Amino acid sequence: MAVLTRRNLLKASAVAGVYGAGMALAGRFTAAHAAPEPLILKSNKIDANITGTEVTRDVLTYGTDGMPPVLRMRQGEPFAAKLINGIDEPTTIHWHGMRIPNAMDGVPFLTQPYVYTGETFDYAFTPPDAGTFWYHPHCNTLIQMGHGMTGVIVVDNPRDPQFDADIVVNLRDWRLGGDGQFIAQFKPRDAARAGTYGTVRSANWQVEPQYDAPSGGLVRLRLAVTDVTRIFSFKVEGAQAMVIAIDGNPVPKRFALDVLQLGPGQRLELAIRMPDSEGATVTLEDIHGTNPKTLAKLRAVGASLKRDIGDLAPLKPNPVRQADLGAAEHIPIILSATAEDTAKDSICGSLGYSFWAINKVPWPGDTPDPTAPLAELKLGKSYVLDMENLTPHSHPIHLHGMSFTVLSSSTGDVQPFVSDTYLVQPNEKVQLAFVADNLGDWLLHCHIIEHQKTGMTSYMRVV
Ligand code: C2O
Ligand code: CU
C-alpha cells in the first residue's frame, strides 16, 4: 500500500510540497562548501549544420551554440544548474550515472514535476564519483534526445594522473532525410527489434572530426555513447590504446583495447599513446555490424613527448560500497518481449506501443500511477540482480542512482566492472551486485530509447 500512499501524495500535492526537498538541498551546504552560482542550462530549438552540407532545422540543445556544452565538475564539490525550459514541451534533466539524491534525478512523476515551457528547475548536488558521465532529458526522450539534447559531463579528480590531452567525444546519430531535415524518429517494427537507427552518424555533432594531440603524448579519450539506439564496437587503429575506465569507473585492471562493445548510455575512457611522428593519424572506429565506420581521428602534432603509457599511474577507484555477497538478497529480473497492454498516453511522449517488459510488466508510460516497484529495498542492504535476457536482442540496462558491480555472466569471464549500465546480450544471464545506499525511487530501464518507451522500464524503491 506504500505505493498508493506515495502516488496519492504526489497527485494531491502536485507541484507544490513533495518535491521541495531538492530545492532545499542547495541551502544545506555549509560555508566551507557554499552553493555555487548555478550554471544556466536553457533548452532551445536551433538550426545546426551537422551533415557539413545542409542546415538542419528543429535541432534541440542546451544553450544556443550547437552541441550541449561539456559540463566540468569536481569530485566532492557542489555543483548547481538551473534548467530553463525554452522548448515548447515539458522537459527535465537526468544526470546519467551520477549517484546523487533522488530529488535531483530528473524523472517526471517519480522524482520531480514536469518543467513546462518557460519554467525553471534548480538542480544542485555534489558528484561523489570522478569520471565521464552525461546528461539528458527524461521526458519525450525519443524526440528530445533524438533531436540533440545529449551532453557529456566530466567530473575531475585533481589527483588523476597527468595526460597531455583530454578529448571528449559525444557519439550519436541523427535521423535525417537527404535534405538534412529530421524524418520520423522511429518505425514500430524496428522498435520491436533492435531499434531504429539514425541515418547520419556524428562525433561532437560533426562527421568524422579530427583533433590534434601532441606527438608521443598520452591522450585521455573520453567516449560517450549518447545515441538513442546504436551499439558500438570500438577499435583504435594507429596507436596503442588501453581501457582505463568504463561507465565513469576505473576498470579493476587496465587492458589493451582490442574491440569493445558498448551500448547507448555507456562511456569508455581510453589512454592512447600518440605516434612519435608529426602528422601521423590515429583513427577511432566502430566495427559493429556490416558497415564499419571511422568516427573520429587524432593527428600527432609537434616534436614527440616520448611518453610511456606504462608510466601512467592507475586511476583511483570511486567510493562505491562493495556489496556483502554473503548477506545479499537476490532479485530476479527477466527481460522479455510482450504483446500485453498498450501504453497510456503520456505528456512525456508515449510511442503508443508495448513491445517489451521487465518481469512481465510493460511500463505504461510516465504517468502519475505507474506500475508498482519491482522491489522494495532496505537502505544499506546488499542486493544481487539476477538478470536474464529472454530476447534475441541486446539491451543496455541502466540503473539510476546507484552503481553496481558485475559479478558473473553466462557469456564467460567478466571483470568486476563497476557501472550504471550493463549491455545484456541475447539470452545472457548476468549478476549485478550493489548496496542500496540511496533513498528513493530509482528507474531501471533499457537505454535503447524505443525499448524504454515501449515497456522495458521499471523501478526499485529504496526505503
Ligand atoms: Cu540515461 Cu533513465 O537514463
Ligand atoms: Cu532494449
Which atom, in ligand 1's list, is nearest to the CA of 400?
2
The answer to the question of residue 318 being in a domain is no
Residue 174, Cβ density class (10 Å: 0-12 exposed, 13-18 middle, ≥19 buried): buried
Q: Does ligand 1 come within 6 angstroms of the Cβ of 94?
A: yes
Region of residue 385 (phi > 0: left; psi between -120 and 50: alpha; otherwise: beta): beta
Looking at residue 367, its pLDDT comes to 73
- Centre a 10 Å sphere on the Cβ of residue 217 and count the other Cβ atoms it contains: 21
- Confirm whether 319 is domain-assigned: no
Q: State how many domains the chain has.
A: 3
Q: Is 443 in the pocket of ligand 1 (CB under 6 A)?
A: yes
User: In this model, does residue 289 exceed pLDDT 90?
Assistant: no
- Whether the predicted pLDDT of 156 surpasses 70: yes
In the Cβ-directed half-sphere of 249, how many Cα atoms lie within 13 Å?
Answer: 25
Q: What is the mean pLDDT of residues 157-179?
A: 96
pLDDT at 239: 98
Query: Does 141 reside within a domain?
Result: yes
What is the structure's pLDDT at 34? 67
Q: pLDDT value at position 262? A: 98
Do 411 and 340 sit in the same domain of this protein? yes
Q: How far apart are CA 73 and CA 372, in angstroms?
A: 35
Residue type, 242: M
Distance 421 CA to ligand 1 centre (A): 9
- Do 120 and 188 fall into the same domain? no
Q: Is the CB of 400 under 6 A from ligand 1?
A: yes
Domain span at 454: 329-462
- Does residue 382 share a domain with residue 458? yes
Phi-psi region of 287 (alpha: psi -120 to 50; beta: other; left: phi over 0): alpha
CA of 369 to the centre of ligand 2 (A): 23
Cα 370 from chain centroid?
22
Residue 139 maps to a domain? yes
For cell 568504463, what's the residue?
A: 246
Please give the helix or strand (H or E) that residue 165 lies within, else none.
strand 165-174
- 290 and 338 in one domain? no
Ligand 1 center–CA 372 separation, angstroms: 19
Q: Which atom of ligand 1 is nearest to the CA of 265?
A: 1
CATH code of the domain in which 229 resides: 2.60.40.420
Domain annotation covers residue 324: no
Q: How confident is the model at residue 18, as a pLDDT?
A: 37
Report the percent of the chain where pLDDT is more than 70: 92
Res 350: pLDDT: 78
Tell me: pLDDT of 301 over 60.
yes
Q: How many CA atoms lie within 13 A of 301 on its CB side?
A: 9
In this structure, are 262 and 347 located in the same domain?
no
- Strands 375-377, 457-462: pairing is parallel
Together in a domain, 378 and 340 = yes
Residues 452 and 408 in one domain: yes
Ligand 1 atom closest to residue 107's alpha carbon, by position in its atom list: 2
Whether ligand 1 lies within 6 angstroms of the CB of 453 is answered as no
Cβ proximity of 406 and 422 under 8 Å:
yes
Q: Where in 302-428 does DSSP place strands (E)?
A: 329-337, 356-358, 375-377, 382-389, 395-399, 404-409, 418-419, 421-424
Q: Looking at the predicted structure, is the pLDDT value of residue 327 above 60? A: yes
Cell numbers 610511456 label which residue? 308
Q: Flag whether pLDDT at 419 surpasses 60.
A: yes
Among the listed residues 282, 283, 251, the one whose alpha carbon sits nearest the alpha carbon of residue 266: 251
Q: CB of 96 closer than 6 A to ligand 1?
A: yes
Q: Which of 173-182, 185-194, 236-245 is predicted with the least confidence, judged by mean pLDDT?
A: 185-194
pTM of the model: 0.92
- 265 CB under 6 A from ligand 1? yes
Pick from 280, 311, 342: which residue ends a domain?
311
Band of residue 288 on the pLDDT scale cut at 50, 70, 90: very high
Q: How many CB atoms lie within 10 A of CB 88?
A: 10
Q: Nearest ligand to the C-alpha of residue 395?
A: 2
| Average pLDDT for the chain | 91
Residues 223 and 352 grouped into a single domain? no
- Nearest CA owner, ligand 1 atom 1: 96
Beta carbons within 8 Å of 107's beta carbon, 6+ residues apart:
92, 94, 138, 366, 400, 441, 443
- Using the mean position of ligand 1's atoms as its centre, give its distance from the Cα of residue 88 in Å: 22
93: phi then psi, degrees, rounded to nearest 5 = -120, 130
When computed from its CA atoms, the radius of gyration of the chain, rounded to whole angstroms, is 21
> Cell 513533495 identifies what position?
18
Query: Of 219, 212, 215, 211, which Cα lies nearest the Cα of 305?
Result: 215
- Looking at the domain assignment, is residue 392 inside a domain? yes
Among residues 65, 64, 69, which one has the least CA distance to residue 93? 69
Strand ranges (E), 329-371: 329-337, 356-358
In angstroms, the CA 189 to CA 208 distance is 30
Asked if pLDDT for residue 31 goes beyond 50, the answer is no
Residues 104 and 182 in one domain: no
Single out the residue of 106, 131, 102, 101 nearest to residue 43, CA to CA: 106
Measured in angstroms, how far is the CA atom of residue 50 from the centroid of ligand 1? 24
pLDDT at 26 over 90: no
Quote the CA–CA distance of 401 and 384 in Å, as a whole number: 16
Phi, psi at residue 431, to the nearest 5°?
Answer: -115, 125
Same domain, 152 and 278: no
56 lies in some domain: yes
Nearest ligand (C-alpha, residue 399): 1
Whether 15 and 148 share a structural domain? yes
Residue 239 CA, ligand 1 centroid: distance in Å: 33
Residue 320 lies inside a defined structural domain of this protein: no
Segment 34-47, tens digit of pLDDT = 678 999 999 999 99
Ligand 1 atom with least separation from CA of 97: 1
Q: Are 28 and 144 contained in the same domain?
A: yes
